[in-house]
Amino acid sequence: MALREIRKYEDELLRKKSRTVEEVDDRIRLLIDDMAETMYKADGVGLAAPQVGVLRRVIVVDAGSGLIALVNPEIVASEGEQIGVEGCLSIPDVAGEVARPKILTVRGLNRDGELIEITGEDLLARALSHEIDHLDGVLFIDRVIRYVDAEEEGGIKE
């Protein structure tokens, strides 16, 4: 495993759409491991492959219940709405309120290539939605309702 450099806002790669992973092989598993290590080291809640310079549909998320790694994640259902403060490891020192689904169901492949489905509420739903946006070149600042200052922040870094 290795730490990878997190791409910052100015990097054009963050605005590109990621490609589907054809096979979950050792290279993808290594990417997942590196992304998890990088996310934890940066005190993040989630990380998408484009944030480390790889245009593949891979995300990692840990909203407090352990690591979730998804390959080719797709949103299959959403319910309700929550508005909360978000940040992003690729956009340091910026935070804002963003509307996301309250409950989100996502389907994708796990690190063994098995199809799984995850339903998350609150922070997990927010993190999954945020990271899947990255795979389509969408940043949280594209969805900000209102920017917040450091005193209000207290949000999450994804």
Domain presence at residue 127: yes
Q: What is the CATH number of the domain that holds 81?
A: 3.90.45.10
d(CA 110, CA 107): 10
pLDDT at 1: 76
What domain range includes position 132? 12-157
Domain presence at residue 97: yes
pLDDT at 62: 98
Domain presence at residue 135: yes
pLDDT at 153: 57
Domain presence at residue 59: yes
Domain presence at residue 7: no
φ/ψ of 144, rounded to 5, equals -65, 130
**Radius of gyration, CA atoms only, the chain:** 14
The single residue of 79, 131, 153, 158 carrying the catalytic annotation is 131
Name the one residue in this structure whose structure tokens are 């940066």: 42
pLDDT at 125: 98
Domain presence at residue 139: yes
d(CA 100, CA 25): 32
pLDDT at 53: 98
User: Annotated binding site, which residues?
Assistant: 88, 130, 134
41-52: pLDDT as tens digits: 999 999 999 999
Structurally, the chain folds into a number of domains equal to 1
User: Annotated binding site for Fe cation, which residues?
Assistant: 88, 130, 134
φ/ψ of 108, rounded to 5, equals -170, -175
3-state secondary structure of 126: helix
pLDDT at 149: 82
d(CA 76, CA 86): 23
Domain presence at residue 6: no
Domain presence at residue 2: no
Is 81 annotated in the active site? Answer: no
Low-confidence ranges of the chain (pLDDT < 70): 150-158
